[in-house]
Amino acid sequence: MKRSHLSGYLFLVPYLLLFSGFLILPLGYGLGLSVFRWELLSPVSAKFIGWNNYAEALRSDYFWKAFGATFRFVVMAVPATVGSALLIACGLNRVGGAKRQSFYRAAYFVPTLISISVAGILWRWFYNSEFGLFNAFLAQWGLKVPWLTDVAVAMKSVVLMTLWWTVGGPVVIFLAGLKQIPNQYYEAAAIDGAGTLQRFFHITLPLLRPVLLFVVVMSIIGSFQVFGQTFMMTRGGPELSTRVLVQYIYETAFTNYRMGYAAAMSWLLFVAIAAFSILQFRLMRER
């Protein structure tokens, strides 16, 4: 090993220590756990049971219901977040004046800073169908929406709240990406007579692709791990329609104390996230 390499590794040591101590090690431990039956309440100690935990999860209605709820959230939340963030960023990019622009950027970003417990409780009150703010407003037109109490509506309400809560992050990233696009391209296109939409689809979008890929993949990963919003607003209800996988894993591990089974489900979730992320990478690269 060359001396110069050594110093490089030395600089990496602190991070590598943390990374392996708090990520690699627990990951491996979790994988090991997932082939054991280990229940904290049980008088018997852990027992090797092979793939049984995985088999139980794949046979369980509750697992698939939770997976379905998570999937529905991802399918709605990712396009909604990425789409609106892109729109907002494009809009902000055209706002004149650096001060004014940073004010609006901050305005969109502020909700991201609110902790999920606060945001969740706040929106639960907004959404309350009998006494909530939204329905009080809609009552003017005689409307009454069962925001969190109807099986068909609840997840959409969660997505709407998530949009408000998380859109600020991608907006900032898109805005930075937009600023990287040299103005000459737009000028040239304008001279050639390209309209706003044409410029968006033929200049902005292609040049933004690396940023877009990053945002989409991060958004997918984040959305698969959704937990706080649903837990604070619905506790997984009504009738488990918003009980997502992470909540089910949490309940399995920390209220029912079935550690092995929970570890197995965590790995299934990990596989799902990895699969969708890779798929997304492929799709967006090959174009």
Interacting residue ranges for other proteins, rule: CB under 8 A = 39-44, 47, 124-125, 128-131, 139, 142, 144, 146, 149, 151, 235, 237-240, 251, 254-257
Contact 33, 258 (CB under 8 A): no
Tell me the C-alpha distance between 166 and 113, whole Å: 9
Phi, psi (deg, nearest 5) at residue 47? -135, 135
Q: How far is the CB of 139 from other proteins (least distance, A)?
A: 8
CA-nearest of 230, 271, 268 to 249 is 268
Contact 242, 231 (CB under 8 A): no
Q: Which amino acid is at 58?
A: L
Handedness of CA 7, 8, 11, 13 (dihedral sign): negative
CA-nearest of 8, 41, 31, 1 to 255 is 41
Q: How far is the CB of 183 from other proteins (least distance, A)?
A: 46
Contact 239, 151 (CB under 8 A): yes
Q: How far is the CB of 50 from other proteins (least distance, A)?
A: 16
Q: Could you give the 3-state DSSP secondary structure of residue 168?
A: helix
Q: How far is the CB of 24 from other proteins (least distance, A)?
A: 23
Q: How far is the CB of 242 from other proteins (least distance, A)?
A: 13
CA-nearest of 40, 41, 35, 26 to 54 is 35
Q: How far is the CB of 17 from other proteins (least distance, A)?
A: 24
Tell me the C-alpha distance between 29 and 92, whole Å: 46
Tell me the C-alpha distance between 246 and 44, whole Å: 27
Handedness of CA 107, 108, 110, 114 (dihedral sign): positive
Give the per-residue SS3 of 217-232.
HHHHHHHHCCCHHHHH
Q: How far is the CB of 230 from other proteins (least distance, A)?
A: 14
Q: How far is the CB of 60 from other proteins (least distance, A)?
A: 10
